[in-house]
Homo-oligomer: A and B are copies of this chain.
Amino acid sequence: MNKNIHTFLGCDANYEESEMVLFGAPYDGTTSYRPGTRFASAAIRNESYGIETFSPYQEKDLTDYQIFDGGDLELPFGDPVRPLSLIEEFTANVLKDGKFPLMIGGEHLVTLGAMRTVVKQYPDVHIIHFDAHADLREDYLGVKLSHATVMRRCHELVGDNKIYQFGIRSGDREEFLFGNEHVTTCRFDFHTLDAVVEELERKQVPVYLTVDLDVLDPSVFPGTGTPEAGGATFTQLFDALQKVTRLKVVAADMNELSPIYDQSGASTALACKLLREMMLMLMK
């Protein structure tokens, strides 16, 4: 008898044979409003057995692909310096081994850990950022490393005009002013996505895809710390991901599920389904 293995549905490959590595980064230490995203990756793994391995959207099946689920990183809470280092190190190893890193947050700050190593390997990396919030603050109550500043820190890594935001419908005035100068922001929805994808496809640049699930409308995704009305439907997000994954995506994450705030389980179920679809899109 073997020890009890616990992975996301259908992610049964060994590390060596795998093309994609799924892992959890259960850190939410800087969350300023309502914490709980630390529980996301475990919840997604548990609840994934409520969905199927087969996608009737893409006519593909997870069982036809080699995906390794590395479980969750063991991250201390409090000061984010060490969690970010641990994420960076893990992601670097996955990239070094020629595999695709797919991270489940945690709060959005975890993206910075992954980006720190991605930008080393792909200096010209562009970021596609789906979110309700701009996350472009210089600091938050004097703190530089925060879920609310993560895109500002990423901007420091990649430079001007490399970040494309979609679905943004919240931020303070300064964030929008900064955004106007330094990043490309599509407010409220995805209406400029076709043009952006076309441009990046032409440029052949590597892309990091970060999906803050609160880009979705709270009606379809109430299970998040800062629900923000006026967001995308599941189908709109699905379609947007279809477009983005035509690009040369080199790493990705999905974050900000806070399962405890949606006791119906519908938010976690949606995250599971979306993760399945993202994996099937990204595995060419």
Interface residues of chain A, those whose CB is within 8 Å of chain B, are 1-7, 14-15, 28-36, 38, 42, 45-46, 49-54, 56-57, 61, 68-72, 74-82, 140-143, 145-146, 168-173, 176, 187-188, 217-220, 222-223, 226-230, 234-235, 238, 260-266, 269-270, 273-274
Q: Is A1 a contact partner of B56 (Cβ separation < 8 A)?
A: no
Contact A264 B265 (CB under 8 A): no
CB <8 Å contact, B269 and A56: no
- Report how many copies the assembly holds: 6
Listed from nearest, the 6 A-B pairs whose CB atoms lie closest are A4-B71, A6-B6, A222-B264, A218-B266, A79-B79, A76-B141
The chain B residue sitting closest to A173, CB to CB, is B54
Interface of A is mostly: loop
CB distance from A232 to the nearest CB of B (A): 11
Q: Which residues of B contact A45 (CB under 8 A)?
A: 4
Smallest beta-carbon distance A106→chain B, Å: 13
Take A78-B145, A79-B143 as given contacts and tell me if A56 and B187 are in contact as well, using a CB distance cutoff of 8 Å.
Answer: yes
Kindly list chain B residues whose C-beta atoms are within 8 Å of the C-beta of A82: 142-143
Cβ-neighbour of A219 out of B31, B61, B77, B219 (below 8 A): B219
CA distance A176 to B61 in the complex (A): 12
29 residue pairs from A and B, CB less than 8 Å apart: A3-B7, A3-B69, A3-B71, A4-B45, A4-B69, A4-B72, A52-B172, A54-B171, A54-B173, A56-B168, A56-B171, A57-B169, A61-B173, A76-B141, A77-B143, A78-B80, A78-B143, A78-B146, A79-B80, A79-B143, A79-B145, A82-B142, A82-B143, A217-B234, A220-B229, A226-B269, A229-B269, A229-B270, A260-B260
On chain B, the residues within 8 Å of A3 by CB distance are 5, 7, 14, 68-69, 71
Beyond known contacts A4-B6, A222-B264, A230-B234: 11 more, CB 8 A cutoff: A3-B71, A4-B5, A4-B45, A6-B71, A29-B77, A34-B265, A52-B171, A76-B146, A222-B266, A227-B266, A227-B270
Q: Are A234 and B223 in contact (CB under 8 A)?
A: no
B219 and A29 within 8 A (CB): no
Q: Which residue of B lies closest to A227 (CB)?
A: B266
User: Are A172 and B53 interface neighbours, CB within 8 A?
Assistant: yes
* Distance between A26 CB and nearest chain B CB, rounded to angstroms: 11
Within the complex, the shortest CB–CB distance from A159 to chain B, in Å, comes to: 24
Contacts of A176 in B (CB 8 A): 54, 56
Q: What's the Cα separation between A88 and B144 when bound, in Å? A: 22
Contacts A5-B4, A269-B229 given; does A79 touch B78 at CB 8 Å: yes
